[in-house]
Amino acid sequence: MMTAIDHVVISQRRIERRVAELAAEISQIYAGRELVIVPVLTGSFMLLADLVRQLPMKMRVDVLAVSSYQGRATTSQKPKIVLPSRLPLRSRHVLILDDVLESGRSLQAVTRLLRRRRPASIRTCVLLRKRSAKATQLTADFIGFDIGDEFVVGYGMDFNHYYRNLPDVVTLKPEALAEEQ
């Protein structure tokens, strides 16, 4: 698996530092309030785990799953919500966590869905924002890192259900993308 890595885009150490900074920003905004965190699975599970351990507040976590990449695809497809959030959100403060803001379609779909449940507020937090034109049209309230328009895996993100366990955000060698089944 390590031979498939082309290069490290963001190291584990940089991720740890930035997640701590994000936790401080989020804690300041939600000070004294209860928060419902809704991670978009499966790509944001590592961000969720690292972030919630650093948030000194009363919170609930309710998961939601969206399918945007089918099989071996390396570009986002039309998002499909495959596991909806279940906790009551009316008059609650909601923070949506996602791994990558690329086209913005998944984040828009999730935000639309949750807005119908009349929360007091909805904010968004993404680990990565790609510097593509589409991604910059939709902004997140909290952004870990801006990256180029390259396909990345690791830290919860996958290719064909592999590489989620890598502690760094990395690119794969072209032959690994072609060979992986």
Q: Would you please indicate which residues are annotated as catalytic (active-site) residues?
A: 102
Which residue type is seen at 173? K
> Is residue 123 helix, strand or coil?
strand
Pair of tokens at residue 64: 């939601």
Nearest C-alpha neighbor of 119 from the set 57, 35, 39, 44: 35
CB of 97 closer than 8 Å to CB of 47:
yes
CB of 160 closer than 8 Å to CB of 180:
yes
Sign of the CA dihedral 95, 89, 112, 150? positive
d(CA 79, CA 43): 14
d(CA 19, CA 52): 10
CA angle in degrees (0–180, nearest 5) for 39-83-19: 10
Radius of gyration of the chain (CA): 16
